Amino acid sequence: MAGDHLNEDLQKNLAAFLNSSPDCILVCDAQSLRYLYVNQATCDMTGYSRDELLAMTAPDLTGQSPEVIQESYRQARLAGERGYTDEPRLIVNKGNSRRGWWEGHFGYQVIDGRDVVVIVSREVTRRVLAEQSATRSRQIYAALSAANEAMIRLSSPDEVFQAVCDAAIDSGGMTTAVLLMPKPGSDLMEVKAMAGYGRDVMGSTIISINPDRAEGTGLNGTAFRTQRPCVTDDFLKDQRTAHWHRMVRDRTKLRSAASVPIIREGRSVGTMYLCSRERRAFDEEIIGLLVRLTDNIAFALKAFEREQVRREAEERAHYLATHCSLTGLPNRNLLSDLLEQAIASVNRTGHKPALMFVDLDNFKQINDTWGHDTGDRVLEQMAGRLRCVLREHDVLARLGGDEFVVLVQNIDRHEYAQRVAEKLLAAAQDPVQVDGQPLVVTLSIGVSLYPHHGENHRALMKSADLAMYEAKEKGKNTWALSGDDKQWDSASEIMR
């Protein structure tokens, strides 16, 4: 009798202990998958009464298929006395008012000839969320590293924008990554780069930075104006994103989103917009990493701008060193280089260059009479006229003062040099108009031919210069070949 009484007390105490446990404890028939016992914690967690639970099967309660549950039970049987612990699962209660992660431990027993599974399920929501956050942090760290590496090796802002979006998807675990900037002269934002899911949605989405427009009240517009990150943990229930709910609901599985401003020198220049299929994907640590990422984007933009300024200054310095500041024509330095290149290519192309020195007759008188400003405008107009009668690949240069030089890139017959010289003379026939004042300008042209009048650029320049003075001695407004005019015949023979 004492033994029976002790057994009854033990059973009562055991039942009380099981009911007081904070863990869910269930006993399930391994064959029928019906529950044989549930403790009070199971009722509290699920929202079902004990009678309701005992009338249910494991698939009814968990939403899993019988095959999945039987596989868990099989694993428990194979594990023996130590049992089997399954991966945490997201469980929702009866009224959908509570959801959390629960980890189940399964032990297989035979009781009174019946195969049963004892399930002890413990809530691990905090642990799972911490693990998920740590995983996301590692992913964003990886994305930050990949983006920084891209910024070092890429050579344009657009390349960097796309690399950052790609890194957010490939390394950061995001569903969608978009970089947005305002359109010039508009309050609308445009996509500068994008990676991941939802291109069709973004292609038809209007986003503004204007708070007076519905399209400007969302995460991106707010982040841009406030210069602070904007986060939503439930996109489809957030009133800030209400304007886009209908568009997103049927076309994406968006759960959470964040917009982080890109700030340069105290002002917003764009936003980095990220989306995830997970809720609570953007905690403080993740946002802190994303702020670092956008800061690095701003730094890269500044570096590109400095490099662009440096390159433009370098190009400008090179241009000024090789071109006439008044007419924009090549100067003596560049002409010498181009002439040397033309001579060097003769053996390869068979085309021989000709050089023509062009001097404006009586230009000093125009300067003295009308002033240097008028003289400069005459030079500008004459440069335009001479350039118009030349072929695109011929070169017109200005040496200084009223001296121009024409490099005719290929003279297969000497008659062509003559035609070019006559075209240049014809270009100056009409008076130059400056402030309504007609000014008569004529040309004296000296011609030298390669290789008859020189085999290098210095010799050709000297020969053409001397020929130009011969043209002046002939009465100006004409051209002359280097040396005696009779040399046309011998030059012709050389070129054939």
User: In this structure, what token pair is assigned to residue 447?
Assistant: 């011609």
Q: Which of 158, 402, 430, 485 is catalytic?
A: 402
Q: Report the chain's terminal Cα–Cα distance, integer Å.
A: 137
Q: How big is the chain by its Cα radius of gyration, in Å? A: 43
Asked if residues 283 and 258 have their Cβ atoms less than 8 Å apart, the reply is: no
Q: For residue 110, what are the CA distances in angstroms to 28, 31, 55? A: 11, 12, 22
Q: Is 96 exposed, middle or buried (0-12, 13-18, 19+ CB in 10 A)?
A: exposed
* Strand 432-434, strand 189-196: pairing: unpaired
Q: For residue 188, give the DSSP letter.
A: B
User: In this structure, what token pair is assigned to residue 134?
Assistant: 């740590």
Q: Can you tell me whether residue 415 is helix, strand or coil?
A: helix
Q: Can you tell me whether residue 429 is helix, strand or coil?
A: coil
Q: Is 73 exposed, middle or buried (0-12, 13-18, 19+ CB in 10 A)?
A: buried
- Is 402 one of the catalytic residues? yes
User: In this structure, what token pair is assigned to residue 22?
Assistant: 């904070």
Whether a cis peptide bond, with omega within 30° of 0, leads into 451 is yes
Q: Which residues, in sequence order, are CB contacts of 22 under 8 Å at separation 6+?
A: 41
Annotated active-site positions, please? 402
